């Protein structure tokens, strides 16, 4: 019988879909690489379903050979997987795109609103008994109507955020280094700008790029210093897109007005000093954290797993040419 391993238990309907076709084991934790390697060597599996916190290195992939045929990620991003190594070993890698677009866009807007209007800062003041009553100049924030939102990366999620921002009366500009197709309903309402110009002119900057070598520390000290002192930075993409240590200095020293973060450079650890920055809104990677979205992700992960077990390239394969060089692995 086919064997499937999940590092963490996945929500319904994953188990219901997979168990009729395969034996399912759950490690129950994010294990050190050495422990995962030993598990795969002693318990060979056909499909590995890791989390984005699991580094799937060449060593891990080799431990799964010769049986491992697919890494079925419960995530959209796949920067934790050595894709080149997987392809060289004829191991398919799949993800869960599309289904978390709206949930992540909603989370982005929640962070944007909270940071721009200083909601969490105000909440802390009220709870600490520091609110002495309404005053004309107390804890003033940014008005979104008419403000310029700069979206860095304009794929599905970036465009969903733009659509929401337009509903708040914001102006929207975007920067992208890849060719994108812009949805008809917003095409004439958004403007493309070079990244450098967007960073210096936007009132709010929202990051929606994948983590690659070229986007690692895309927002570094120089980028932060180029922003206006009234700018708010939002990141719901991947933590290492921002130089977190530089961001702490920017927040402390007033290079920018505030930040809303759902992801962190060395997650779950924070850069020293970040948690003390009152002008930072910090959420624990909640971008896709709705019941409906996590279930949809589980369904896609299960379908990708079943495709691989049937010797089909998964529908959401990120290295689709993986089996071109030879016949796909036989069905179990």
* Integer CA distances (angstroms), 24 to 51, 140, 299, 301, in order: 16, 54, 15, 13
**Active-site residue (options: 238, 244, 294, 299):** 238
Q: Is there a catalytic annotation at residue 238?
A: yes
Q: Is there a catalytic annotation at residue 171?
A: no
∠ CA 301-79-176, rounded to 5°: 105
Neighbours of 21 (CB within 10 A): 16
Q: Is there a catalytic annotation at residue 90?
A: no
Whole-angstrom Cα distance, residue 176 to residue 162?
14
DSSP string covering 240-307 = GGB-HHHHHHHHHHTSSSEEEES--TBTTB--TTGGG-TTEEE--S-TT-SHHHHHHHHHHHHHHHHH
What are the start-end ranges of the H helices in the chain? Answer: 14-18, 33-42, 58-64, 83-88, 101-116, 119-127, 156-167, 195-201, 221-226, 244-253, 291-309
Q: Which of 330, 295, 305, 325 is nearest to 95 (CA)?
A: 305
- As annotated, the active-site residues are 238, 267, 285
């Amino acid at each position: 019988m086919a064997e499937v391993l999940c590092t963490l238990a996945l929500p319904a309907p994953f188990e219901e879909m997979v168990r009729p076709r395969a034996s399912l084991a759950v490690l129950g934790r994010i294990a050190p690489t050495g422990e995962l390697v030993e598990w795969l060597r002693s318990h060979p599996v056909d499909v590995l379903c890791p989390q984005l916190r699991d580094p799937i290195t060449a060593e891990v992939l080799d431990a799964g050979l010769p049986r491992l045929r697919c890494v079925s990620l419960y995530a959209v991003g796949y920067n934790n997987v050595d894709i080149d190594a997987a392809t060289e070993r004829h191991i398919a890698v799949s993800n869960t795109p599309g289904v978390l677009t709206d949930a992540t866009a909603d989370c982005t807007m929640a962070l944007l609103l909270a940071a721009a209007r200083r909601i969490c800062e105000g909440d802390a003041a009220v709870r600490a008994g520091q609110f002495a009553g309404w005053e004309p100049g107390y804890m003033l924030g940014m008005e979104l109507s008419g403000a310029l939102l700069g979206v860095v990366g304009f794929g599905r999620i970036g465009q969903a955020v733009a659509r929401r921002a337009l509903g708040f009366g914001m102006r929207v500009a975007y920067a992208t280094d890849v060719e994108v197709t812009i949805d008809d309903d917003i095409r004439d309402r958004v403007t493309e700008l070079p990244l450098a110009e967007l960073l210096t002119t936007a009132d709010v900057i929202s990051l929606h790029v994948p983590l690659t070598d070229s986007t690692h520390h895309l927002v570094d000290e120089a980028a932060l210093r180029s922003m206006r002192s009234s700018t708010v930075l939002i990141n719901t993409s991947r933590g290492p897109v921002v130089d977190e240590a530089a961001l702490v200095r920017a927040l402390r020293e007033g290079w920018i007005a505030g930040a809303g973060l759902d992801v962190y450079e060395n997650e779950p650890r924070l850069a020293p000093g970040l948690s003390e920055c009152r002008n930072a809104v910090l959420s624990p990677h909640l971008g896709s954290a709705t019941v409906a979205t996590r279930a949809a992700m589980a369904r896609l992960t299960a379908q990708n797993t079943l495709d691989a077990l049937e010797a089909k390239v998964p529908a959401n394969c990120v290295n689709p040419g993986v089996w071109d060089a030879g016949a796909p692995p036989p069905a179990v």
